[in-house]
Structure 1
């Protein structure tokens, strides 16, 4: 969930599914042959003479419900504002939303339904879901922004992983522990991770860094449906770990950190970008999180004093006054901007076919929406960035986190060969 990042399951993280606010018309399937419309612009699937349809495949009812809600609302807000300003290429965006509940079969069915009438997919939650569809997305030449940062998603021209990959964040995270938290050669570091692409990609990074720095990784693999981390806490304590890496969802992170505090395991925790949600600060685990938890991410937090970020926070609050501000909002906004920018560039070339949109997207060497570190989109086989922020939970900060360390690329991350596919 890149990069981005914010998953749910416990009561305080459970959100109601969003109502779909925009529905695609039957006209949205037009232009599939690459014919030119009246304005001389070649069009492809999802593009008519009046509309451009983009589709969101998200999670409102599964373990990443909080992420899905914030991402989707941010993207709906983005496209609404583009439409209010006149649209793009003489057309207005139509947004279609489907909830797959973090279920691969449902995600594949949703893609089968929406892909033929979509010009792009600005949000697709879940490494397992996107990986299962990777070849189809590539064959369809459908620009897709996964809200996932596994290395298995690299290598496809049509799939753009934003920011860093999970392994790079963990490499930078281990370097942070050594340089600033007293971890030294010979120490053991725990790593709690989900089975599947997210966890395995993260583990690749931690094992690489540990080997280079003379550390030992104590692994604990769990399923996304597991909620009680008592056994994992006991295993880490018995092993004598000096720090713990966390590549799971917020509910598991909360159980881990809370259980460690009760067991007297007072060590720093470094989480992947998807391991934290600000709603955790409303739970009894709050004090332990504020003391010992750190988050690695390529994206700036919504609390950061950036002009674009401050406007986004104000606009989002005005549109959704009852909803929590979190760091998935700028992630969603940035992904929507990536798609919109590609479509605008394709329009300039008078080619809104899928190939035209991909050509426009992949031509960008420096994409900087003002929401974090710049990204290079020219190579499908390389991460868009290697730089990670270190964030710290902060109950007084907007979105529940503050910047502890500005984006940095550790020496280990600089020299790391990121696996592809």
Structure 2
């Protein structure tokens, strides 16, 4: 992974917080222990299982840069839990989702993890690659708790407990650039821009664009930004002056909307493609909407919420019934997929009569082809690899459910298939 001074400084600050957090005592459930105890029916249980309840954690962003994503992910997971419990739960236990909003703030993310960890069997949600990376040492060492993050940094690979769902940002970016070359006329010798967040997310994506550029004979013109940077005027000016023929953006929806809008207003007519977390359909109702529909694309780890599959249509209907005032977006897919994968692991662990953290993690490792109806099967058997190398290329379209249509079906570029993540 490529590192910068800013990223190292942020990591250092988070590490300091972790030292303090690690000093707090870990509360254990009275009926559980590190090795688990046999409950009714001979099912072994441990942390996060108390009385007749299994508690899962969700560390989300409801008020920060990914507030739209966080709300959709969380509500989709609450819907999944409600339906799971209505169907009888797991091993006779009801499942409960305990939610904390960190607002995309590092201190709140670390303190939220420290608060929830002793109380949960695992985490069905953890938004923010830098924050997940910050607790990785504790997750792998003393806590040994399963985390299914809404984060796709290659730095998270290799952990037996943190399992990335879908292609990591570096692979996703390679598939994005491959689309630009095959569908948008980018060729050897061209320059492409890359606007990216400092830290694990942006730098993981940048590693991907640098790698495929080296393979394809492209030059990457880099523009690093912070999550608090919302006006992309300077970045557009720099990339236009550099003569780039296309732009990749690895940031949030606000930054993507500004980038596309500013480029369009200045007559800078080049295709722009973002990583999966760089779009929200609510942007189509803003001034940037027409430009997004014309020149913007998204590389996604799954089909969109409006996919033409029975599972997608059922989820749309169920979500609309549960949250009639809220819009549909791909955060719903991400949240539902992670909760479903965790639920599948719980069911397998139940069948093995081991609902301890170790039992659930072992169960997830046995799942080699998991698809909840959104086009890409996930393989969780190798902790050193993402669960998929495929991406679907989407384009904003306000006329379709969820505001995104498919313009290239799921696939992995040759460069992505041959690449070793994190290398």
* Range class of TM-score, shorter chain: over 0.9
Q: Deviations over 1:293-331 (max 9, x none)?
A: 010011110111111110000000000000011111011
29 and 241 in structure 1: CA distance in 2 versus 1, 3 angstrom threshold = farther
* 84, 88, 91: which one aligns with 2:90: 88
* Preserved CA contact (<8 Å) 1:28 1:53: no
SS at match of 1:101: coil
Aligned to 2:10: none
Q: Deviations over 1:246-271 (max 9, x none)?
A: 10101011111111111111000011
SS at match of 2:319: helix
Q: How does 1:359-374 map to 2 (within 5 A)?
A: 359-374=362-377
Shift of 1:28: 5.8
* Preserved CA contact (<8 Å) 1:32 1:45: yes
SS at match of 1:86: coil
C-alpha separation between the residues in 2 aligned to 1:95 and 1:179? 43
C-alpha separation between the residues in 2 aligned to 1:373 and 1:94? 28
Shift of 1:372: 2.6
Shift of 1:55: 0.9
Q: Deviations over 1:119-171 (max 9, x none)?
A: 11000000111000001112212111111100011111100100100111111
C-alpha separation between the residues in 1 aligned to 2:215 and 2:158? 26
* 113, 116, 121: which one aligns with 1:114: 116
C-alpha separation between the residues in 2 aligned to 1:327 and 1:419? 26
Instruction: Specify every segment of 5 or more residues in structure 2 that has no aligned partner in the other structure, as ranges.
Output: 1-26
1:243 aligns with 2:283: no
Aligned to 2:394: 391
C-alpha separation between the residues in 1 aligned to 2:277 and 2:41? 43
C-alpha separation between the residues in 2 aligned to 1:147 and 1:326? 14
Q: How does 1:222-301 map to 2 (within 5 A)?
A: 222-301=225-304
C-alpha separation between the residues in 2 aligned to 1:175 and 1:107? 35
Shift of 1:38: 2.1
1:402 aligns with 2:405: yes
Give TM-score scaled by structure 1 length.
0.92
Shift of 1:49: 4.1
* Preserved CA contact (<8 Å) 1:58 1:98: yes
Aligned to 1:8: none
Give TM-score scaled by structure 2 length.
0.92
Shift of 1:30: 3.7
1:50 aligns with 2:52: yes
Aligned to 1:19: none
SS at match of 2:38: coil
* 190, 195, 199: which one aligns with 1:196: 199
Superposition misfits of 4+ residues, deviation over 6 angstroms:
none
Question: Number of aligned pairs?
Answer: 395
SS at match of 1:160: coil
* Preserved CA contact (<8 Å) 1:390 1:407: yes
Aligned to 1:133: 135
C-alpha separation between the residues in 1 aligned to 2:103 and 2:123? 17
C-alpha separation between the residues in 1 aligned to 2:384 and 2:303? 24
Aligned to 1:175: 178
Instruction: Specify every segment of 5 or more residues in structure 1 that has no aligned partner in the other structure, as ranges.
Output: 1-25
1:31 aligns with 2:32: yes
SS at match of 1:383: coil
- Considering only aligned residues, what root-mean-square deviation do their CA atoms show, in Å? 1.2
Aligned to 2:150: 147
C-alpha separation between the residues in 2 aligned to 1:400 and 1:369? 20
273 and 209 in structure 1: CA distance in 2 versus 1, 3 angstrom threshold = same
* Preserved CA contact (<8 Å) 1:28 1:118: no
Q: How does 1:55-94 map to 2 (within 5 A)?
A: 55-94=57-96
C-alpha separation between the residues in 2 aligned to 1:108 and 1:150? 18
C-alpha separation between the residues in 2 aligned to 1:37 and 1:268? 58
Aligned to 1:162: 165
322 and 221 in structure 1: CA distance in 2 versus 1, 3 angstrom threshold = same
Shift of 1:80: 0.5
Q: Deviations over 1:3-35 (max 9, x none)?
A: xxxxxxxxxxxxxxxxxxxxxxx9966423401
* Preserved CA contact (<8 Å) 2:177 2:212: yes
